[in-house]
Amino acid sequence: MWRDPGAPADSFYEVRPECTDVPKSRFRIKAGKTLSARKWHATFTPEGYLDISKILRRIQRGGVHPSIRGEVWEFLLGCYDPKSTFDEREQIRQRRRYQYARWKEECKQMFPIVGSGRFVTAPIITEDGQPVQDPIVLSQINPEKYSGLPPKSEVDAANGKLTNGNTEACSTSSSCEVLERVKEPTNRATVDKKEIQWKLTLHQIGLDVVRTDRTLVFYEKQENLSKLWDILAVYAWIDKDVGYCQGMSDLCSPMIILLNDEADAFWCFERLMRRLRGNFRCTERSVGVEAQLHNLAAITQIIDPKLHQHLETLGGGDYLFAFRMLMVLFRREFSFCDSLYLWEMMWALEYDPDLFSLYEDPEAANEKAEGSKGKVKSIRQCGKFERENMRNGAKSSEAPLPISLFLVASVLKDKSSKLLQEARGLDDVVKILNDVTGNIDAKKACSGAMKIHKKYLRKAKKP
């Protein structure tokens, strides 16, 4: 039987011509399988209500067409309630845009480069809050006045152009204002510790921004780089517990590519961080993702005890070799296009119709979970992974394990024979797992994760 191979989607995320070693996307836009714009818009009622169950099934079959990916993700990530109307969502959207503008202005008051179309890649203050008189910083803050400084920095050399290329984004007077704020010590007796901590991260955000998805033509534009920096800078300010950590730029980058409005992209990223921020939370004793690595070890021990024992013998029982996969959700293991395809399938599989209310009104959601009066969520509106958790009572005692863990477990299971036969040390484990880059099929990986999830729930129940 002849099967439609589908149309490639790489053209929606154009790669720079000099980047010849970028893996080709396996994702194909297939009629009747991929969620199309026509199918998406037809699923709404005239008032704007969305039957999310139909959408979830279609996404699980063939992903989302790139032209509507951004607006579909807003629902998958819990930005909006499918049971809301067009008017209700527009009110929420405008309220959020206003809130983001307020936060951004707050950041701009502390450091006027925010929102200027530029960003920094060198420290702007010392750990005790004193301004740094670095020529790189001065040239990035006031490119007109310091155009002759400095000689190309390492970051500029790696990036191929100065990060302050957009000299028109700021007037001479405003540039001077920024310069004065950087050069002059603050008038306050004591600088707020949170503000110091935030300012200390700004250059690190800049360094990560210039390294993020640099193979894409999209990031040849200064305005897109600065937009990514602005969003991450604002998020670092409002999330006092976590702030900014390396890896967040990889999670945020797709949002600004898919959503034109900066505020909408910010809120999509913020919702994604609701799921993942625990991985980034650090204490003096541990990194948040260690808990997930411990869960991964428990899954592997149940699913493939021989492999788990072998990894422990090699000194890899802490599963740190899987750190990157979990922190940035397989961004390094897949092409850009395929990673987006993987993400939307993951979110569709674990979709919970209570997601919006959980984020908007956590107290009400908790009351509902504890058995207070309220409409029980329909299992039909849940993703396939979430339905399995509900059937097995996984939510009765503690939060269920995320599907990302089972995706990593499926990769390990797939490479089990090779790891058992060829891995004689942790370097071998890392090398074997690095070889999967660009060679994993996102849909098959999700199917494998679902099978392992079922097996895990079944075996974990046994005494």
293: in domain: yes
72: in domain: no
DSSP designation for 28: E
| b/e code 220-250 from CB counts within 10 Å (16+ = b) | eebebbbbbbbbbbbbbbebeebbbbebbbb
**pLDDT value at residue 110:** 94
**Are residues 351 and 81 in contact, defined by beta-carbon separation less than 8 angstroms?**
no
**Are residues 123 and 153 in contact, defined by beta-carbon separation less than 8 angstroms?**
no
Instruction: State the CATH number of the domain containing residue 430.
Output: 1.10.472.80
Q: How many domains does the chain have?
A: 1
207: in domain: no
**Are residues 299 and 405 in contact, defined by beta-carbon separation less than 8 angstroms?**
yes
**pLDDT value at residue 67:** 96
29: in domain: no
299: in domain: yes
295: in domain: yes
C-alpha count within 13 angstroms, C-beta hemisphere, residue 385: 27
For tokens 């991985």, the residue is: 279
- Structural domain for 412, as ranges: 288-461
**pLDDT value at residue 184:** 43
63: in domain: no
Q: How far is CA 252 from the centre of its chain?
A: 5
Question: Which pLDDT tens digits describe the chain residue by residue (463 residues)?
Answer: 445 677 888 889 999 999 888 888 889 999 989 999 999 999 999 999 999 999 999 999 999 999 999 999 999 999 999 999 999 999 999 999 999 999 999 999 999 999 999 999 999 998 888 888 777 777 777 676 665 444 434 444 444 433 443 433 343 444 445 545 544 444 443 458 899 999 999 999 999 999 999 999 999 999 999 999 999 999 999 998 899 999 999 999 999 999 999 999 999 999 999 999 989 987 666 678 899 999 999 999 999 999 999 999 999 999 999 999 999 999 989 999 999 999 999 999 999 999 999 998 776 555 544 444 445 567 888 999 999 988 886 544 567 899 999 999 999 999 999 999 999 999 999 999 998 888 889 999 999 999 999 999 988 766 5
Token output for 49: 């209500």
| Dist. CA 262–CA 426, nearest whole Å | 42
For tokens 């990194």, the residue is: 287
Token output for 143: 């490119």
| Dist. CA 189–CA 440, nearest whole Å | 56
365: in domain: yes
